[in-house]
Structure 1
C-alpha cells in the first residue's frame, strides 16, 4: 500500500492509523524508507540506514505504546542501538558497533516507535551546525544551501522534510533548540534528568546534556515525554514529578502568564520582527508581557563553564579511546575536536571542580530570576540559519568557529547550566523563506507551563501547513 499523504500526519496520527488497522507498521516503515531514498541525496540527514532491522521490527511484536508502528530516527551520538554503528560523526569511531540497546533507546522502543536509521551530526556534537569531515554537511529542507543548525541537525531536517514525524536529539548547549529553529520544527530541551539515559549518558555527570525529541506538533512532543520521562529508580537526581500527563496539559488553558522578554543582542531584522510579533500575540492572548533583563551575567557563566566543559569532553573521549583501544591518529579528529581535547586534558582536577562550583553558585541567580516569571521569551538565534560553510569546523579556524557561535547562539546555553526546560517554537519566517524559532523557558521542572503555552500558540499561530522546498 502506497501512502502519498504519509508526511501529512504527525506521529500520533500515524499511530492512530495503525490502531485502526488502516495501515500496518511495515507500510509506515516502507513509506519512511521511500522518503529517505528520495530526499537523502539532497539533505544527507540519515547517515545509517537500518532498513532490514526496521522491517523485521515492524512485523514483530511491537509494544502497545502511543507511537506504535511509527518510524523514528536516532541521533548517532551516545545512543546505542543493538547491531548498529555509533560513529559520533567521527572517523575515529567509524568501526564502533553497539552490542545492545541503550537505556533511552529501550524507552523509545517501549513507546512503540520503529527506528529506521541514525541521523547526522557534527563530530561529537560539538558545533551548532551539522557539518563534518566524516559524515558531510546536512542541508536544510527549506533551503539546501543553508545549515540545519546543530548538533541534532539530521533529525531536525528529517522531521521538517516529512521523512519521519519525530526524531531523537540531544541538547547540551542548544543542540535541540537550534536545529529546531533552523528547520521550523518543535524542539523541547527538558529539565535536567527528566529523560534518564542510564548507563549511556555519561555527559549527564556534567549536568548540561539532555535527550528528547523534535516533532512537527506540540502533541507529539507531549506524548513522547509522557512515554519516556519517568524517573529511573536508581537516579540520584530525579527531577520533581509532573502533576499530570502532558497530554492533559496541552488541553488546558495556560491562564494569564507572567512572561518576560528581552532581545539583548543586535538582531537580524526578521528575527526582531518575529520577536515583536510574538510579544504582541502574547499580549492579545491576555498574558502579562513585559520587557525584562535577567539579573544574570551570562558571559561570566560561560567563562566559568570552560574548565568543567573541557574536562568533561576529555573524560568522555577517554572512555571512547578505551573502547576503541588506542589513541586517535592525527587525521581522525577535526581541528576543533583536537583543540577541545588538548585543552580539556590540560585542566586540573581542582580547576574542574572550581568551575563546577562557580557554575552552581551562578545558577542560583538564574533560577531566582524566575521567582516572579512563569516564562521567559527570547529568540533561539540572533539571525536565521547561516549558509553551509559559515560554521564549518574543518574549514573555519577553531577560535573563529567559537566566536561565530557565540554571536549567533547566545540564548540557549544558560538554561542548560540551570537545568530548566526550554522550548523552540517555529513562530516566524524570514523574508527569504527560512524558519525563525522563538524560545520559551520556564521554571525548573515546569514543562507543564511550556506545553500549555506552546499548545495555545500552535492553535493561534499554526505552522503545520508550512512546507519546505524538500518535502513529502
Structure 2
C-alpha cells in the first residue's frame, strides 16, 4: 500500500527486536556503533514523512557507560518531556524555547542503565494533553501503517519510530493513556507500569495526583519484559513485588473480567468490539474464564478527570515562565491547552471535590480484582482516526466531545495507579492496528506479561515489514 511507510531494510538492525540485538552485540555479530548508524540512516530515510523526531544526535550518540546492561548497544530515543543532557525539553510546545538540559533527568538515568544507546528525542503533543501528536501550525506526526492517520499520543513520535522499524524500543510515559494509546494506533506492545514502579520523572513529582508512569514502546512482549527486568537492576521499589525476567506464559488459569462499554456512554465501534471479543475467545480457548463485569466508577469519574486535566493545563499556562523557560508565551499555546485552561478558570470551585473523589478511585479499582486477576477491555472507544479529527485547531467544545468519545478506557488505570498493557490484537479496515487492553491489580505486571506472551503466541502481532 502506498500510504504505508517502513524503514525495515537488510542492515545491522534487520527485523531484530531489542533482545536479539543485544544478543548480537554480546556475541560480536555487531557493535553498538553499527546499530546506531543503521538506526540513524533509517530515521533519516523516513522522518521527512513521519515527523517523529524532535531532536537527533545521530552524529554523537549517547552510548551506555558500561557494558553490563541487558540491552547494551540497542539504539533508542527519549520522549521530549524528559531531560537528556545537552538537548532541550520542549514538551511539544511552541510557547517557549528551552535551553539544553545540563544533566540527564532521573528517569533518563534509569533508562540508560539498561545499556540503551540514546539517539535523540521524539515528538509529542503540547504537554502530553492530547491523544494525537498534532500541532497548530507544524506538521503532525504520522502513522507508518497509514500516513493519513493519527499515531496516537502523547508518545506518538516514539510509536512512529518503533512501528516503522527505526528502533525496536523507545521511551514513553503515560498520564492518561500515553503509552497504551500510541501502542494501539501503531500495532505495538505498550505497558503502563504500576505507579512508582520506576523512578518518577521530575514532572510527576509536583502533581496533586501523580498520574504518570514511565515505560517503553516495543514490537515484542519479550522486549517489554526484558526492559522491566533490567530497570529493576538500577532501582527496585521495595514496596512492590519484584517482576523479575518474565520469559513466557504461566500455567495457572485466570479469571478475566470483560468490559466493552465506556463509563461516558460513548459507544465502542464494531471493529474495536470485535477485536476485544476475539481476544476473549483466545483466552477462553486457553482455559481462562472470561465473564462480563461492571466498571467500578461511573460518569462522575470522567467529569472529575476532565476537571483535573483542565487544572493541569491551567497550571502549565500559569507557571510556564517559572517552570519551563522565561521565553514562555501563553498566547502561543495550542487550542487544546487554552481551552482546558479556560474551562478550569470558569469553575475552579469544582477542583477540590474532583481531586477528593479521584483519590478514592484506587480503592474502587482494587475491588475489580477481588474476583478477577485481569480485566479485558478496548484501549480506545473507536479505531484510530484520520489526522485532523482531533486537531488542536478545532473549536474547543467540538474537540472536547471528540476526545471524550475516543479516550474511554485508559485514564482509570492512571488515577488508580494500576498497571495495564495494550496489545495489537486487530486490524481495522482502514489498514491501521487495533489495540486491546489488559489491566491487573496494583503491582501485578507479571500476570500481564505472562498473558501477553500467551496471546502473542496464539495470534502473532503484525509487523509493518511483513505487511508492505
Using structure 1 for the length normalisation, give the TM-score.
Answer: 0.90
Q: Tell me the secondary structure at the aligned position of residue 457 of structure 2.
A: helix
Q: How many angstroms apart in 2 are the aligned matches of 1:208 and 1:302?
A: 15
Distance of 1:304 and 1:239 partners within structure 2: 31
Go from structure 1 to structure 2 and tell me whether the alpha carbon gap of 1:359 and 1:121 turns closer, same or farther (over 3 Å shift).
same
Alignment of 1:105-144 (within 5 A): 105-133=108-136, 135-144=138-147
Q: 1:357 deviation in Å?
A: 1.3
**Is 1:268 matched up with 2:269?**
yes
Tell me the residue number matched to 1:312.
312
Residue pairs, 1:24-173, within 5 angstroms: 24-54=31-61, 57-58=62-63, 61-77=65-81, 79-133=82-136, 135-173=138-176
| CA RMSD in angstroms, aligned pairs only | 2.3
Unaligned stretches of 5+ residues in structure 2:
1-8
Q: Flag the 1:20–1:149 CA change in 2: closer, same or farther, 3 A.
A: same
Could you tell me how far 1:469 is from its partner in structure 2? Answer: 6.5
* Worse-matched range after superposition: 178-187 or 303-312: 303-312
What is the distance in 2 between the residues matched to 1:255 and 1:66? 28
Q: Residue deviations 1:158-197, cap 9 Å, x none?
A: 1001001000111111111111000000001111111122
2:315 and 2:235 mapped to 1: Cα distance? 24
Contact 1:194 1:231 in 2 (8 A): no
Counterparts in 2 of 1:398 and 1:469: CA distance versus 1, 3 Å: farther
Deviation at 1:269, TM superposition (A): 2.3
Contact conserved, 1:379 with 1:439, CA < 8 A, in 2? yes
* CA displacement, residues 320-345 of structure 1 (integer Å, 9 cap, x when unaligned): 31142255152x21122122234445
When residues 328 and 110 of structure 1 are mapped into structure 2, their CA distance, relative to the original with a 3 A threshold, is same
Q: Quote the offset at 1:117 in angstroms.
A: 1.4
Query: How has the CA–CA distance of structure 1 residues 211 and 319 changed in structure 2, closer, same or farther, with 3 Å as cutoff?
Result: farther
- Relative to 1, partners in 2 of residues 1:468 and 1:268: Cα closer, same or farther, differing over 3 Å? farther
CA distance in 1, matches of 2:136, 2:316: 20
* Deviation of 1:308 (Å): 3.5
Q: What is the count of residue pairs matched by the alignment? A: 455
Superposed, 1:337-348 pairs within 5 Å as: 337-344=337-344
When residues 273 and 43 of structure 1 are mapped into structure 2, their CA distance, relative to the original with a 3 A threshold, is same
Q: How does 1:6-17 map to 2 (within 5 A)?
A: 6-17=13-24
Q: Do the aligned partners of residues 464 and 12 (structure 1) sit closer, same or farther apart at CA in structure 2, a change above 3 Å counting? A: farther
Change (3 A) 1:214 1:154: same
The 1:327–1:106 alpha-carbon spacing in structure 2 relative to 1, beyond 3 Å, is closer
Q: Which residue of 2 aligns with 1:358?
A: 357
Which residue in 1 is equivalent to 2:181? 178
For 2:229 and 2:207, how far apart are their aligned partners in 1? 21
Q: Is the 8 A contact 1:194 1:230 kept in 2?
A: no
Alpha-carbon distance change, 467 to 239 in structure 1, aligned in 2, over 3 angstroms? farther
Partner residue, 2:4 = none
TM-score, reference length from structure 2: 0.91
Give the secondary structure class of the aligned counterpart of 2:386: coil
Instruction: Judge which range, 441-450 or 194-203, deviates more.
Output: 194-203
Change (3 A) 1:309 1:431: closer
Query: Residues 19 and 374 (structure 1 numbering): CA distance in 2 closer, same or farther, change over 3 Å?
Result: same
The structural deviation recorded for 1:294 is 2.3
Task: Measure the CA separation in 1 of the matches of 2:381 and 2:443.
Answer: 27
Contact 2:12 2:30 in 1 (8 A): no
The 5 Å alignment of 1:359-438 reads 359-394=358-393, 396-438=394-436
- 8 A contact 1:262–1:291 mirrored in 2: yes
Match of 1:324 in 2: 325
**Kept after mapping to 1: 8 A contact 2:313/2:338:** no
Deviates more, 1:307-316 or 1:186-195: 307-316
**Distance (Å, rounded) in 2 between the aligned partners of 1:243 and 1:445:** 8
Secondary structure at 2:104 match in 1? coil
